[in-house]
Structure 1
Amino acid sequence: MTDEIITLADDSDLAHLIDLLDMLRGPDVAPFWGEGDHSIGEKFASRLRPILNGQGRGHDVDYLAVYVLKYLGKGNTHVPEEQITKWLRGVNGLPAAGHAWVEDATRTAWTLVARYSLPRWRGYRGAPGQDWLSPS
């Protein structure tokens, strides 16, 4: 994972994910994010602040994307799609908008996780795909 600073201008998928998150209510809306230092909103804020301040690194982007998958992504058990639909700005509870948001956020977050985590998840195995070239 890169230790270089990553800005929204550097990664259009990251910028898109931030735009999607901006469609939700801010971190002070406890009915959506929860309350206290262990709220989901605080988890997001801990990764969003460095990114938005131009000091984010690969691990911040990675954690942010994992948080989206875990807490807001398709099939999560923390914030259901109906809750996301209810709190989306400007869509007035339109179910299709909530569904589209979850699909888009999940796909975008997975793209970022694959970009920033995949090398670590693969471990050291030589060249990508090398296991498929070895005879069984």
Structure 2
Amino acid sequence: MIGNVAWPKPDVFREVRGNRTTSGHDDGVNTPTNPDPDLRHLTDLLDFLPGPDDREFWDLVDSGQDLPLDGLTDALNVLRDPAPHDGRIVHLAEYLMAFFDREGPELVELLDERLRRLDLPTVALGRHWISDLTATCWRLLVRYNADGSWAKKWPESNYVRPTRGRS
């Protein structure tokens, strides 16, 4: 659902990336206080998408899910924060997965069409983009939700693994 979304900037994805310097560092993303490579990769993936001014694209992405795009804009603001709270990163990953982690050829074809304009190889671009985005979001969800409780669940024991073959 697009509605009357108040976007902070005409092209939120380009601004999120910051300015790429000759050294390859992006200003405003992945600063020393936030060195997460998956957040950086997420901005690379988002670079391939149009900004919020392309209403036709985002209406097709929404495709009846009724996800408010202003919520996506709010979630994307985590990429501007040099030291984001883990909960905000989880929220962003969940929101992106809600938009893009679904079955059906329509979304793949829409992304294929968008990505072909960028002189990329033309084999399954949309499918690869979705797979990469959802895998990146999954890594973020796991990383920022993990609580280290595995050690309590699997305490040290005196268990000795039996050897195979010989008794």
Distance across 2 between alignment mates of 1:81 and 1:118 = 31
Structural mapping, 1:43-82, within 5 Å: 43-54=71-82, 56-73=84-101, 75-76=102-103, 80-82=107-109
TM-score w.r.t. structure 2 length? Answer: 0.57
Deviations 1:17-47 (A, max 9, x none): 1110111111221112239xx7653222102
Change over 3 Å in CA distance of 1:31–1:62 after alignment to 2: same
Distance across 2 between alignment mates of 1:40 and 1:83 = 19
Structure 1 counterpart of 2:54: 29
Which has the larger Rg? Answer: 2
The answer as to 2:150 corresponding to 1:128 is yes
How far did residue 53 of structure 1 move? 4.7
Asked if the contact 2:111–2:125 (Cα under 8 Å) also holds between the matched residues in 1, the reply is no
Distance across 1 between alignment mates of 2:146 and 2:52 = 29
The answer as to 2:144 corresponding to 1:116 is yes
Q: Partner letter of residue 101 of structure 1?
A: W
Structure 2 counterpart of 1:123: none
Q: Partner letter of residue 114 of structure 2?
A: W
How far did residue 113 of structure 1 move? 0.6
Distance across 1 between alignment mates of 2:142 and 2:30 = 17
The answer as to 2:45 corresponding to 1:17 is no
Structure 1 counterpart of 2:22: none
Higher RCO (CA 8 Å, separation ≥ 6 residues): 1
Q: How many positions carry a matched residue from both structures?
A: 120
Q: Partner letter of residue 86 of structure 1?
A: E
Bigger fraction of residues in helix: 1
Structure 1 counterpart of 2:9: none
Q: Partner letter of residue 108 of structure 1?
A: T
TM-score w.r.t. structure 1 length? Answer: 0.68
| Unaligned runs of at least 5 residues, structure 1 | 1-6, 120-125
Distance across 1 between alignment mates of 2:88 and 2:52 = 17
